[in-house]
Amino acid sequence: MPTIMAYHDVKDVKHWLASPVRKQVFEPIGVTNIRTFVDPQSSNRVGLVMDVADMDRLVSFMQTKAAADAMAHDGVLPETLVILVKS
Protein backbone atom coordinates (compact mmCIF):
# COMPACT_ATOMS: atom_id res chain seq x y z
CA MET A 1 0.00 0.00 0.00
CA PRO A 2 1.62 3.26 -1.09
CA THR A 3 2.07 6.11 1.34
CA ILE A 4 1.63 9.57 -0.10
CA MET A 5 2.37 13.06 1.09
CA ALA A 6 0.30 15.96 -0.17
CA TYR A 7 0.67 19.62 0.60
CA HIS A 8 -1.24 22.73 -0.40
CA ASP A 9 -2.32 26.13 0.80
CA VAL A 10 -5.63 26.76 2.55
CA LYS A 11 -7.66 29.84 3.34
CA ASP A 12 -7.98 29.07 7.07
CA VAL A 13 -5.69 26.57 8.80
CA LYS A 14 -7.88 26.18 11.90
CA HIS A 15 -10.94 25.42 9.76
CA TRP A 16 -8.97 22.90 7.65
CA LEU A 17 -7.60 21.11 10.72
CA ALA A 18 -11.06 20.85 12.33
CA SER A 19 -12.88 19.66 9.22
CA PRO A 20 -14.23 16.07 9.19
CA VAL A 21 -14.66 16.16 5.40
CA ARG A 22 -11.20 14.73 4.61
CA LYS A 23 -11.98 11.54 6.45
CA GLN A 24 -15.52 11.39 5.07
CA VAL A 25 -14.39 11.49 1.43
CA PHE A 26 -11.11 9.59 1.60
CA GLU A 27 -11.97 6.61 3.80
CA PRO A 28 -14.65 5.22 1.42
CA ILE A 29 -12.06 5.04 -1.37
CA GLY A 30 -9.54 3.14 0.74
CA VAL A 31 -7.40 5.95 2.14
CA THR A 32 -6.31 5.28 5.73
CA ASN A 33 -3.95 6.54 8.42
CA ILE A 34 -4.49 10.21 7.51
CA ARG A 35 -2.13 12.50 9.40
CA THR A 36 -2.22 16.30 9.17
CA PHE A 37 0.65 18.79 9.28
CA VAL A 38 1.04 22.56 9.35
CA ASP A 39 4.03 24.40 7.90
CA PRO A 40 5.41 26.57 10.75
CA GLN A 41 7.15 28.81 8.20
CA SER A 42 4.03 29.57 6.16
CA SER A 43 0.79 30.85 7.61
CA ASN A 44 -1.47 28.87 5.28
CA ARG A 45 0.47 25.81 4.02
CA VAL A 46 -0.68 22.43 5.29
CA GLY A 47 -0.01 18.82 4.44
CA LEU A 48 -1.18 15.25 4.76
CA VAL A 49 0.49 11.88 4.91
CA MET A 50 -1.80 8.94 4.21
CA ASP A 51 -1.86 5.34 3.06
CA VAL A 52 -3.63 4.72 -0.23
CA ALA A 53 -4.94 1.26 -1.13
CA ASP A 54 -5.48 2.13 -4.82
CA MET A 55 -3.63 5.08 -6.38
CA ASP A 56 -5.68 4.91 -9.60
CA ARG A 57 -8.87 5.22 -7.57
CA LEU A 58 -7.47 8.21 -5.69
CA VAL A 59 -6.35 9.93 -8.89
CA SER A 60 -9.78 9.35 -10.46
CA PHE A 61 -11.54 10.60 -7.35
CA MET A 62 -9.47 13.79 -7.27
CA GLN A 63 -10.96 14.72 -10.66
CA THR A 64 -14.57 14.50 -9.46
CA LYS A 65 -17.02 17.15 -8.33
CA ALA A 66 -17.11 15.46 -4.90
CA ALA A 67 -13.37 16.07 -4.51
CA ALA A 68 -13.72 19.67 -5.71
CA ASP A 69 -16.60 20.23 -3.28
CA ALA A 70 -14.59 18.74 -0.39
CA MET A 71 -11.60 20.95 -1.19
CA ALA A 72 -13.86 24.01 -1.43
CA HIS A 73 -15.47 23.17 1.92
CA ASP A 74 -12.06 22.81 3.54
CA GLY A 75 -10.72 26.02 1.96
CA VAL A 76 -8.06 24.24 -0.10
CA LEU A 77 -6.51 26.29 -2.90
CA PRO A 78 -6.42 23.47 -5.51
CA GLU A 79 -3.86 25.17 -7.75
CA THR A 80 -1.29 24.75 -4.95
CA LEU A 81 -1.81 20.99 -4.49
CA VAL A 82 1.31 18.79 -4.78
CA ILE A 83 1.20 15.01 -4.26
CA LEU A 84 4.33 12.93 -3.63
CA VAL A 85 4.47 9.14 -3.48
CA LYS A 86 6.84 7.34 -1.10
CA SER A 87 9.55 5.60 -3.05
Q: Which domains does the chain have, with CATH numbers?
A: 3-85 (3.30.70.100)
Tens of pLDDT, residues 2-28? 999 999 999 999 999 999 999 999 999
Rounded Cα distance, 1 and 53, in Å: 5
Who contacts 74 (Cβ-Cβ below 8 Å, separation ≥6)? Answer: 10, 15, 16, 19, 21, 22
Rounded Cα distance, 56 and 67, in Å: 14
Are 11 and 79 a contacting pair, CB within 8 Å? no
State pTM to two decimals.
Answer: 0.91
Q: Please compute the mean of the pLDDT values over residues 38-48 and round it to a whole number.
A: 94
Which residues make beta-bridge pairs with 38? 46
